[in-house]
């Protein structure tokens, strides 16, 4: 049996940023260019109709991957394939472009405050010329508003008249308007409170089931990730260190960093368990540590870890980049 081709495939994706100081200052201080490796060799595939989530500490490159995958950044290296086609080629074709959309973290910043909600939602439709006339536009907007749990009358209002959760619903309606198959959701509920978060997550799951959507989902909330994902990639300093089916990752995490992240979750049951913050500092992506980037914080680090970078290797359905796991000394 051959598996169906994934909708999205990412191979050895990298994006560097030049964060050098201005040339005069650099010459005075005799320093070279400073290159920040925000994403440095990430590979994954997302099956149609499934959800891949990325988790990891702030600054590890999750949003940069999201932006690369929808073409908002050009890769420094590697490639993204969307439905078998190389991304930049797909982006040049409006029929392909409308099949992918992005939902941003901040429902306050991502909606144009001077536009009515109906025009915000219809913007992708107008841009892709998907509507025959004004009546069709009105009907489609009404349908989208209803689909995300708002009322058609809300289309006449402006974004500031809505709460955070309602604004995120508007962002979702907008993202859905061009009938996309692939949605990149960068922290879609981080700005929302728990009860609204529960509603939005339920809405996203229902829409996925109904429309067969494929998600790249980014969140730093592991409980949310557990609810939403089929597969999860754990990122550290621009790379994926563990990639596994969600259930496996949560019941049997293998990479020392994944385990540390789970330990760091606050204890809601108030059993008195002290949460253990991941020890040490997040290293600088400008000068990452040699060998395994996690070694300065890893309890299992040894000489090999300090010298040789571990590659992502498969162990059954899980892939892990760790020498200790490979050597069978990770427990």
Ligand X SMILES: Nc1ncnc2c1ncn2[C@@H]1O[C@H](COP(=O)(O)OP(=O)(O)O)[C@@H](O)[C@H]1O
Give the shortest CB-101-to-ligand SF4 separation in angstroms.
Answer: 36
Binding mask 281-320 for ligand SF4 (x = CB under 6 A): -----------x-xx--x-xx---x----x----------
249, interface contact from ligand SF4, ligand X, Mg ion, none, CB < 5-8 Å by kind: none
- In angstroms, the Cα distances linking 45 to 113, 178, 193, 300 are 36, 23, 31, 30
Binding mask 83-112 for ligand SF4 (x = CB under 6 A): ------------------------------
Instruction: Report residue 42 CA to chain centroid gap.
Output: 13
Give the shortest CB-131-to-ligand SF4 separation in angstroms.
Answer: 45
Residues from 284 through 313 that contact ligand X (CB under 6 A)? 285
- In angstroms, the Cα distances linking 84 to 6, 39, 329 are 8, 22, 39
Give the shortest CB-212-to-Mg ion separation in angstroms.
Answer: 27
Per CB under 8 A, the segment of 86-94, 128-136, 151-159, 243-251 that binds another protein is: 243-251
SS3 call for 279: coil
Give the shortest CB-22-to-ligand X separation in angstroms.
Answer: 15
Q: Which residues pair with 315 in a beta bridge?
A: 318
Residues from 33 through 92 that contact Mg ion (CB under 5 A)? 63
**233, 253, 256, 285: which one binds ligand SF4 (CB under 6 A):** 256
Comparing CB distances to ligand SF4, the nearer of 266 and 299 is 299
| Cβ-based neighbour number of residue 123 at 10 Å | 15
Sign of torsion, CA 213 218 219 225?
Answer: positive
| Cβ-based neighbour number of residue 265 at 10 Å | 13
Per CB under 6 A, the segment of 61-69, 113-121, 153-161, 294-302 that binds ligand X is: 61-69
Q: What is the rounded distance in angstroms from the CA atom of residue 111 to the CA atom of residue 189?
A: 15
Comparing CB distances to Mg ion, the nearer of 35 and 196 is 196
Long-range CB pairs of 246-252, under 8 A, 24+ apart, other chains included: 246/53, 248/317, 248/318, 249/318, 250/222, 250/226
Binding site for ligand X (CB under 6 A): 17, 19, 36, 38, 58-64, 285
């Amino acid at each position: 049996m051959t598996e169906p081709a994934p909708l999205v495939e990412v191979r050895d994706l990298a994006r560097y940023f030049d964060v050098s100081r201005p040339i005069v200052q650099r010459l005075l201080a005799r320093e070279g260019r400073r290159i920040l490796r925000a994403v440095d060799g990430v590979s994954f595939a997302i099956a149609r109709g499934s959800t891949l989530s990325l988790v990891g500490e702030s600054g590890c490159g999750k949003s940069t991957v999201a932006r690369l995958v929808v073409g908002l950044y050009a890769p420094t290296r590697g490639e993204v394939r969307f439905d078998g086609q190389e991304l930049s080629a797909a982006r040049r074709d409006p029929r392909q472009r409308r099949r992918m959309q992005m939902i941003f973290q901040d429902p306050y910043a991502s909606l144009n405050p001077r536009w009515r909600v109906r025009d915000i939602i219809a913007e992708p439709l107008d841009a892709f010329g998907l509507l025959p006339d004004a009546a069709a536009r009105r009907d489609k907007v009404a349908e989208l508003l209803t689909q995300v749990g708002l009322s058609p009358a809300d289309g006449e209002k402006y974004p500031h008249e809505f709460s955070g959760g309602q604004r995120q619903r508007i962002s979702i309606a907008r993202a859905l308007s061009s009938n996309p198959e692939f949605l990149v959701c960068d922290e879609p509920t981080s700005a929302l409170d728990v009860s609204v978060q529960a509603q939005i997550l339920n809405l996203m799951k229902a829409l996925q089931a109904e429309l067969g959507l494929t998600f790249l989902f980014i969140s730093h909330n592991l409980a949310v990730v557990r609810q939403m994902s089929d597969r999860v990639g754990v990122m550290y300093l621009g790379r994926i260190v563990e990639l596994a089916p969600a259930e496996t990752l949560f019941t049997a995490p293998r990479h020392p960093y994944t385990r540390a992240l789970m330990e760091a979750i606050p204890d809601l049951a108030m059993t008195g368990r002290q949460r253990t913050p991941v020890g040490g500092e997040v290293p600088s992506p400008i000068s990452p540590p040699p060998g395994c980037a996690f070694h300065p914080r890893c309890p299992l680090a040894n000489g090999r870890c300090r010298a040789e970078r571990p590659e992502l290797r498969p162990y059954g359905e899980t892939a892990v980049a760790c020498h200790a796991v490979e050597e069978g000394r990770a427990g």
